[in-house]
Amino acid sequence: MNKISFITTNNFKFNQFTKRVHVDGLIFEQLSVETPEIQAVNNREVAEFSAKWAAEKFNLPVLKEDVGMYIHSLGGFPGPYLSQVEKWIKSEGYLKLLDGENDRSAHWEYAIAFCEPGGDPVSFYVQAEGVFSKEIKGEAGWFTDKVFIQNGQTKTIGELLFENTYVRKEDHYDRLKEFLLAKYANNNK
């Protein structure tokens, strides 16, 4: 069995990943460490840099996921800086930023990168479109979850998480799984 370390200090993120991604012949284990996050224009670059850093530092094949929120009327803010911005502005801050704004559209970017020691990172990403609500709704999730309504829904992610009915767009996991199956197919025979 081959092992791949999923780099995160977030147990929920790791558990969600392992519920979704199964590859015969591979074991995913959580490596709970912080990685450096570069200033970048998108989450793919952040995930790739962090994966390469961790693969070299720990001499292991690794996966690193990064998530960002891009508000269209604000030029893509906060983008890959979501976790830092949320600490300061919380749900209320997003509503204040968009007060009086007609274009409340935005998208999530979910990116995951794989890297082996001495190799170059390979990343996969998906975007989930939606709009910001005009009020905070929901008991669960992060601050952005309580004010974002994904396309095709009428409730915020925070409401859907509380009801345990939220389904995150995860096409990037499907592409990662195909990549890993092809990469490790010979090792499983």
Residues annotated as catalytic are: 66
Among residues 31, 4, 40, 9, which one has the least CA distance to residue 115?
4
Among residues 138, 5, 148, which one has the least CA distance to residue 64?
5
d(CA 120, CA 83): 26
CA angle, 147 then 63 then 120, to 5° = 120
Token look-up 């069995």 returns 1
Backbone angles phi, psi at 106, to 5 degrees: -160, 170
Strand residues in the chain grouped as ranges (E): 2-7, 26-31, 62-71, 77-79, 105-115, 122-132, 148-150
